[in-house]
Amino acid sequence: MKKALVCGLVVATLSPFTSAAQKLTLMLDWYVNPDHAPIMVAQQTGAFKAQGLDVTIIPPSDPALPPRLVAAGKVDLAVTYQPQLHFFADQGLPLVRVGTLIDSPLNTLITLDKSVHSPADLQGKTVGYSVSGIEQATLAAMLQHDQRQLSDVKLVNVNFQLTSALLTGKVDAVIGGYRNIEALEVKLQGKDPVVFNVEDYGVPAYDELILVANRDSLNKPAIKKFLIALKQGNDYLQAHPEESWRAFAKLHPELNTGLNRQAWVKTLPLFARDPARLDRQRYRQYETFLFNHGLIKKITPVNDYVVEIQ
């Protein structure tokens, strides 16, 4: 889904080892990037291998595919987004959240207009977006938090060109830019953006990146082992961020850029310290948020699409 970080397709796999190892396939949400740091560090440090896993990590050819391939039983795990999981549950897909990669929203409202001190100050201004539905609901909640309405701003679809639309003045602000990517990208262009985190303005906090499995595979020991190794990968990353970055950059030289280096550091505090831990109330609240904004047809019981594997 996120767009600005990468140069090309990267396929990362662990080297084959003993035939006794359990094979597990993980499909990412996008090309390899700093959002996947704990996964890549678990791979680099041998944490998966130590759990007896032979993990294959595959970036998707189409970012819409990973959860659907899990639902079809074609891959074991996929990285996706909590907001998307609610849509999948509403559609009746057999997908269940089994772990969390990033347990903080990344979405923001960004402007270069220094007269804007809160979302309310966007009244009469233009706001660019990329994804209809969810981003409009998010902006609507932020404006309502400040006693404004969505009709008080002019929405412009900028077709995933959030940063360029903002920098060229095509729009006064953008909704949907990530705090660890687009906000940094704007700064690297010599600008000083004003950044509003969505959860500070009426949007329920949610897990940005999660891991989903097929409901029929929840009892597979490999999933629990994967989560143990993922925690170990993040523990090592937090203790050795610079060393981990150098190893990542060496393995993926095409990603060794100033933006990715800053994103690596910016994302460190946002990774889930315990990927298996589940906050059910967070999912209930976001489900209600989507329902109230007419984005899902019904309230699905939370236990139908989330689980905490012990």
Over the chain, what is the mean pLDDT? 93
Please give the pLDDT value at position 20: 78
Give the residue with greater pLDDT, 220 vs 12.
Answer: 220
User: Is residue 90 scored above 60 in pLDDT?
Assistant: yes
User: Tell me: the pLDDT tens digits for 171-212?
Assistant: 999 999 999 999 999 999 999 999 999 999 999 999 999 999
Residue at token pair 């699409």: 305
How far is 148 from 2, CA to CA, in rounded Å?
A: 29
Please give the pLDDT value at position 310: 83
Please give the pLDDT value at position 21: 87
User: Tell me: the pLDDT tens digits for 94-107?
Assistant: 999 999 999 999 99
Structural domains of the chain ordered from first start:
12-104+207-304 (3.40.190.10), 107-200 (3.40.190.10)
Q: Looking at the DSSP assignment, which residues form a beta bridge with residue 24?
A: 55
Q: Looking at the DSSP assignment, which residues form a beta bridge with residue 81?
A: 209
User: Is residue 18 scored above 80 in pLDDT?
Assistant: no
User: Is residue 5 scored above 60 in pLDDT?
Assistant: no
User: Is residue 4 scored above 80 in pLDDT?
Assistant: no
pTM for the full model?
A: 0.91
Where residue 281 falls (left for φ over 0; alpha for ψ -120 to 50; beta otherwise) is alpha
User: Tell me: the pLDDT tens digits for 237-290?
Assistant: 999 999 999 999 999 999 999 999 999 999 999 999 999 999 999 999 999 999
Residue 147: band (very low, low, confident or very high) from pLDDT cuts 50, 70, 90: very high
Residue 131: band (very low, low, confident or very high) from pLDDT cuts 50, 70, 90: confident
CB neighbour burial string for 217-239, b if at least 16 within 10 angstroms, e if fewer: beebebbbbbbbbbbbbbbbbbe
User: Tell me: the pLDDT tens digits for 207-240?
Assistant: 999 999 999 999 999 999 999 999 999 999 999 9
User: Is residue 9 scored above 70 in pLDDT?
Assistant: no
Lay out the sheet containing 194-197: strands in order across: 154-157, 126-129, 173-178, 107-111, 194-197
Q: What is the mean pLDDT of the segment spanning 148-169?
A: 96
Please give the pLDDT value at position 24: 98
Q: What is the mean pLDDT of the segment spanning 294-302?
A: 98
User: Is residue 13 scored above 80 in pLDDT?
Assistant: no
User: Is residue 15 scored above 80 in pLDDT?
Assistant: no
User: Is residue 38 scored above 70 in pLDDT?
Assistant: yes
Q: Which of 8-12, 38-42, 50-54, 62-66 shows the lowest mean pLDDT across its residues?
A: 8-12
